[in-house]
A and B are shown apart, each in its own frame.
Chain A
Amino acid sequence: MVSERDIEHIAELADIGIIKEELAEFTGQFNRILDYFDILDTVEESDGYKQDGYNVLREDVACPSLLQEDALKNAGDTEDGFFKAPRVM
């Protein structure tokens, strides 16, 4: 069982933005879904899922890529040819 406090904490970790009025609804749905996931407790542990894939390695080759102008076109805010993000410090 997760509590409303747990949901608040998870929302904080995921930077998802949650308001008090939503907590009860999300918590209730979370618990019903997690109850359903409990069926996995009966699965015998193995090495996990084996992909048939393999690492794809190649030499580093210079190819045409996006122009800086195109890469910045969808940005909300830019400065001196860079993306501008909120302050971290």
Chain B
Amino acid sequence: MARSRLSFSPDDRVNAFLTTCPEPEYGTGSLEGLAIAIKDNISTKGIPTTAGSRILEGYVPPYDAHVVSLLMANGAAIVGKTNMDEFGMGTTTENSAYGPTLNPHDTGRVPGGSSGGSAAAVASGMVRMALGSDTGGSIRCPAAFCGIVGLKPTYGRVSRYGLIAYANSLEQIGPMARTVMETSRLMQVIAGYDPRDSTSVDQPYCHTPEKNIQGRRIGVPEEFFGAGVDPVVAAKVWEAIEVLERKGADIVTCRMPAMAYALAAYYVTCVSEASSNLARFDGVRYGPAVDTKKPWHEAFQERRGTSFGKEVRRRIMLGTFALSSGYYGKYYAKAQSARQQVKSDFLRLFKEVDVIAGPTMPTIAFRLGEKADPLSMYLSDILTVPANLAGVPAISVPCGAVDGMPVGLQVMGRPFEDEVVIDTAYAYEQAVD
């Protein structure tokens, strides 16, 4: 197949890229010649992949993630790997071992995280589209903070083969772009069955966004406008919901009582899975080498202690604790019961409404260094984690600004109705365009 080369030399003033490919090849197809940036936890054959961590410094994957193969088969040019919170653990991109990404709208603020590099690369115009991954909001948060569109697909719709695992039961790879139409276009390429991911579901996405939402029922849970949500951000999002109402949607206020447990259930689950997943990083098979002359505990502790960042070490320890005998019942088992309640809340509401809407984030982008305390950073994920716990699709679409910073409207839908979520976001985007 004839392959051409693209020239890519971005003026990256916001530290969005960890690696750039100055002359990437591309082929023919629906994404022909399009520059696409890839989050650095998605494996790219021959292109360094660090997941934002020192423990993978110098690692060059010997294979491509399924989504990367699909992008290339459809003509895309992979132009680089984007900065992220180490292993996806963070809401600001400040937890990257390679320095924070800055928000293109205000370089004194964070771009959100963990896919902050991808969002900043799109928002600053360096690329039109990017891939991110979303474990508890890592696509939608930076999309909201940077004023772009980001979709977390239904769990199972996009293959995770080649995604460096952090919390397998929660995470999905998803598209990020400046418009809903482009987000949909990228989703069309990456969705579909892959036998190498045993949670992959055979539900291709062949859809063109449709803006008619006459009669669509939109649920608005009180809890998404509760304590901790900046009233000015809440008002902005309500304005967006009213735009949808004027376009023919029915707005239904509702309740999601399990939101009270969602954040704790999410964090217990993700740290537990992380403690298991990240056991593989020991300097034997990849990353900076372990000292093989030392006894193994000493050698591994030295490598992991110096090459993992503090947030990663904190989460591995929290997970180790939550799964340890005597505490499993108090933390992990309870978190799974709570997770089921969150899912039940969604399924109950989806009998009454077609989608659920609210803010993506409770505030605008934080100032650099503002979320130094881990718990205060965790709390800002409260509105995004429910979709991951339940596995439902969720999108963030820009809906105006507060103090000059973008605000995101979040729309969540029934499992495998990513199309309806996309259409609702499209209806809003087209109405205000």
Dominant SS at the B interface? helix
| A10-B321, A15-B297 known; A73 vs B62 contact (CB < 8 Å) | yes
How far does the Cβ of A73 sit from chain B's closest Cβ, in whole Å?
6
| A7-B317, A29-B375, A74-B285 known; A41 vs B301 contact (CB < 8 Å) | no
Chain B residue total in the interface (Cβ 8 A)? 71
Interface membership of A76, Cβ < 8 A:
yes
Beta-carbon contact of A70 and B305 below 8 Å: no
Complex: how many Å from CA A85 to CA B292? 5
Beta-carbon contact of A86 and B296 below 8 Å: yes
Q: Mark B288-313, 1 if CB is under 8 A from A, else 0.
A: 11111111111111111110100001
Beta-carbon contact of B284 and A40 below 8 Å: no
* CB neighbours of B339 from chain A (8 A): 48-49
Complex: how many Å from CA A39 to CA B267? 12
Complex: how many Å from CA A33 to CA B318? 9
Beta-carbon contact of A16 and B261 below 8 Å: no
| A7-B317, A40-B268, A43-B337 known; A18 vs B305 contact (CB < 8 Å) | yes
Number of interchain pairs (Cβ within 8 Å) = 167
Interface membership of B336, Cβ < 8 A:
yes
Complex: how many Å from CA A56 to CA B196? 11
Beta-carbon contact of B340 and A49 below 8 Å: yes
Interface membership of A5, Cβ < 8 A:
no
Beta-carbon contact of A76 and B304 below 8 Å: no
A-B contact pairs, 22 of them (CB 8 A): A14-B317, A15-B279, A15-B304, A26-B314, A30-B314, A30-B318, A32-B375, A33-B318, A36-B264, A40-B334, A45-B333, A46-B341, A48-B333, A49-B339, A49-B340, A53-B199, A74-B59, A74-B60, A83-B285, A85-B296, A87-B293, A87-B294
